[in-house]
Structure formats: structure tokens, C-alpha cells
């Protein structure tokens, strides 16, 4: 079997390849470069689920980083169970062809309780006093303790949020090499998140993100050097590119003006009451799912939203089929923003 490693460098696109990425430039120049048309929506969990299933969201069910759970009447983002991803995974198909095939899934999303042989993913400890402590989750369970004994506690607060930095990506890379040396998986899936936050803050402004580009270039160099020494085929890919955005679209404000939003007052603050709302939006970067309780109101709400500046398309369930996002989890309407806009 050909040993393979797929390194997902989120946010990587030709717009950020420059003098600050000498290794990536060299690697790409010596190999074939293919352009991927991003899935809709071009967000992390959807993209990664499409890569591992070969199926669009209408089949794998991952219609965004989150969606409205109609049974619980709650909006849920960044859940972790791999059971949410519908359809056969690439490692399961490979195992059918060759029972000796093994897979390490290093921080690719929907990682918990997957059928991959080895996996590690962010997972805080939630203490009774409200404290959220850095940690990670692994399979087998002992892998977490071995990695943290070797590399230190997973730097969770460097992984997301305002303090996101290279420490978490470096930890993931070092953990991936450690797992590879111990288990020698046939397929390694490695997710490097480092560019995501700086691009979301600054866009593809090369002077402002020069340090981050240099940092990711070095980490990728270390990974490729290790895996090529093992004879592995190395594939670098990305999920999406990030472009300049200069105008938000406040979907729920618009729906509230139409009298469709219900709120609750909690300690003097307004909270969306999704389950009681006639219609509301779950926004996710370039798209928003609009959930509508009364099907008789869909056409009127669609007509109103089509008039909003910055909304490129308003898709009903039938129109969603053309974009492969028609699924029970998607909204009665799916909004697509203009390229320089973001739904919030």
C-alpha cells in the first residue's frame, strides 16, 4: 500500500503564496497544482466532510459549521461526534479493500467516535465551577496522555479565539509526527489551522500576515521532510481561500423588523428564542440558513430577502439542489452573500 499524508492548510490559496512562503513555493513548483472549486458553504466542517466522504452536503449532512437542530430547538455549532457525518468514510472504504489499511485523523473535524484507527482533536475540560481547561480527546484514550506527556498540554487557547497563534499548529504537527513514528498509519490526515484567524482578521494583506505565513511555511516544511523520509506521498490542500469583506448583512435584524423574530430578556439582555421564532437565520460566513416554521410564509420571506443589498442568492429547497445543499438540516431558505459581504 502507498503510504499517504494529506495536510490541510486551511486558508491557503495562491493569493497568499509569496516571498514569505519559500518552502510552499518550491513544493508547488516541483509538483502538480490543481484548483478546487470550493463546496458551498466553503467552511471547515463542510469542506472536510466532503473530502472524507466524497459526498456533497445534501448527502453527508454537513450543511455548515453548525445548523438549527429542529428536535432540540437549538442552534448548534462546532459539535464533535463523527456520527453527524453521513455516508461511508474514505478509511472505511479502504479497509474493505485491504484490512491492513490504517488511518490517523489528526484534528480533522467531527473526529470523536469515528472509525479511524488513531485520532486526536481539541476537547476542553469543563469543570463544575465553570472553568474551561485546555485538553484534547484521542482514540485510543491513552494516546492523549502519551502525547501530552511528550509535548505538553494541548494549547487550546492558541487554537481558536483572539490568542490564536502558531503554538497549536506546531503542537498538531509534532503530534502527527509522533503518531506516525509509533503507528505508521497508511493514511495520515493532518489539519493545520494557523492561517485561518490571521486571514479572518486582516484578509489577504501580505504585509500584515507575513509573520504567520513564515510560521506556517516552516511547520509544513518540517512535516513534509519527515513524511517524505518515510516514502509517503504528500498532498497539500486547502478548504477555501479568504477574500476581503467590508460589509456585514444583519439577517436577523431584517427578520426582526418583519416581526418574525422572538426574543427573551435574560438579566436585562435580549436573547434570540429560536424555537419560538416564526423565522430566524443561522449565519455562517458566506451563507445563512433561514429556518421558517410556517411553510406558507416561505415565498413572502424569500421575496423580501431577495431585495436586500449584498445578498446574491436566496435559495428555496428546490433551488438548493443545484448547489448540493438540500438536506433536512438546511434552512427552508439558504442565503448566499455577495463576495465582499458576510452574513452575521
Rounded to an integer, what distance in angstroms lies between the CA atom of residue 287 and that of residue 305? 13
Select from 120, 98, 267 the least CA-distant residue to 179.
120
Q: How far is CA 122 from CA 156, 172, 213, 270, in A?
A: 7, 10, 23, 31
Q: Residues 224-267: pLDDT tens digits?
A: 999 999 999 999 999 999 988 888 999 999 999 999 999 999 99
Q: Residues 176-190: pLDDT tens digits?
A: 999 999 999 999 999
Other beta carbons within 10 Å of 308: 14
Q: Residues 274-286: pLDDT tens digits?
A: 999 999 999 999 9
Q: What pLDDT does 310 receive?
A: 94
The span from the first CA to the last CA of the chain, in angstroms, equals 46
Select from 184, 290, 166 the least CA-distant residue to 227.
184
Burial 322-342 (b: 16+ CB within 10 A, else e): ebbbbbebbbbbbbbbeeebb
Strand-pairing partners, residue 68, are: 75
Beta carbons of 64 and 46 less than 8 angstroms apart: yes
Rounded to an integer, what distance in angstroms lies between the CA atom of residue 56 and that of residue 41? 10
Rounded to an integer, what distance in angstroms lies between the CA atom of residue 39 and that of residue 60? 12
pTM for the whole thing? 0.95
Q: Residues 308-323: pLDDT tens digits?
A: 999 999 999 999 999 9
Sorting pLDDT into bands at 50, 70 and 90, what band is 342? low
Beta carbons of 301 and 334 less than 8 angstroms apart: no
Sorting pLDDT into bands at 50, 70 and 90, what band is 343? low
Burial 25-62 (b: 16+ CB within 10 A, else e): eebeeeeeeeeeebbbbbbbbbbbbbbbbebbbbebbb
Q: Residues 114-143: pLDDT tens digits?
A: 999 999 999 999 999 989 999 999 999 999
Angle at which helices 22-29 and 210-229 pack, to 10 degrees? 50
> In sequence order, what are the residues at sequence separation of 6 or more whose Cβ sits closer than 8 angstroms to the Cβ of residue 254?
304, 305, 308
Helix residue spans in 18-140 (DSSP H): 22-29, 44-53, 57-60, 90-97
Residue 38, CA atoms < 13 Å, CB-side half-sphere: 21
Amino acid at each position: 500500500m502507498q503510504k499517504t499524508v494529506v495536510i490541510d492548510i486551511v486558508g491557503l490559496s495562491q493569493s497568499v503564496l509569496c516571498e514569505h512562503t519559500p518552502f510552499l513555493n518550491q513544493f508547488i513548483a516541483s509538483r502538480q497544482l490543481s484548483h478546487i472549486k470550493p463546496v458551498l458553504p466553503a467552511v471547515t466542517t463542510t469542506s472536510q466532510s466532503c473530502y472524507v466522504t466524497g459526498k456533497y452536503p445534501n448527502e453527508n449532512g454537513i450543511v455548515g459549521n453548525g445548523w438549527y437542530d429542529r428536535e432540540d430547538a437549538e442552534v448548534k455549532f462546532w459539535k464533535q461526534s463523527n456520527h453527524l457525518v453521513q455516508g461511508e468514510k474514505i478509511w472505511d472504504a479502504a479497509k474493505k479493500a485491504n484490512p491492513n489499511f490504517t488511518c490517523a485523523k489528526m484534528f480533522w473535524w467531527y473526529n470523536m467516535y469515528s472509525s479511524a484507527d488513531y485520532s486526536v482533536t481539541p476537547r476542553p475540560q469543563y469543570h463544575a465551577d465553570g472553568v474551561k481547561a485546555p485538553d484534547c480527546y484521542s482514540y485510543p484514550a491513552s494516546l492523549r496522555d502519551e502525547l501530552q506527556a511528550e509535548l505538553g498540554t494541548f494549547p487550546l487557547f492558541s487554537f481558536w479565539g483572539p490568542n490564536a497563534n502558531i503554538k497549536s499548529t506546531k503542537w498538531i504537527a509534532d503530534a502527527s509526527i509522533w503518531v506516525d513514528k509509533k503507528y505508521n498509519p497508511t493514511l495520515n490526515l493532518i489539519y493545520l489551522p494557523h492561517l485561518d484567524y490571521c486571514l479572518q482578521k486582516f484578509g489577504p494583506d501580505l504585509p500584515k500576515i507575513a509573520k504567520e505565513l513564515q510560521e506556517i511555511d516552516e511547520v509544513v516544511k518540517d512535516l513534509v521532510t519527515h513524511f517524505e523520509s518515510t516514502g509517503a506521498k504528500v498532498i497539500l490542500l486547502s478548504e477555501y481561500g479568504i477574500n476581503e469583506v467590508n460589509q456585514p448583512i444583519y439577517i436577523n435584524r431584517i427578520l426582526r423588523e418583519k416581526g418574525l423574530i422572538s426574543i427573551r430578556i435574560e438579566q436585562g439582555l435580549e436573547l434570540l428564542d429560536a424555537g419560538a421564532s416564526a423565522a430566524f437565520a443561522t449565519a455562517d460566513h458566506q451563507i445563512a440558513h433561514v429556518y421558517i416554521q410556517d411553510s406558507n410564509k416561505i415565498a413572502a420571506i424569500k421575496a423580501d430577502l431577495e431585495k436586500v443589498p449584498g445578498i446574491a442568492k436566496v435559495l428555496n429547497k428546490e433551488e438548493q439542489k443545484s448547489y448540493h445543499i438540500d438536506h433536512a438540516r438546511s434552512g427552508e431558505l439558504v442565503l448566499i452573500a455577495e463576495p465582499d459581504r458576510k452574513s452575521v
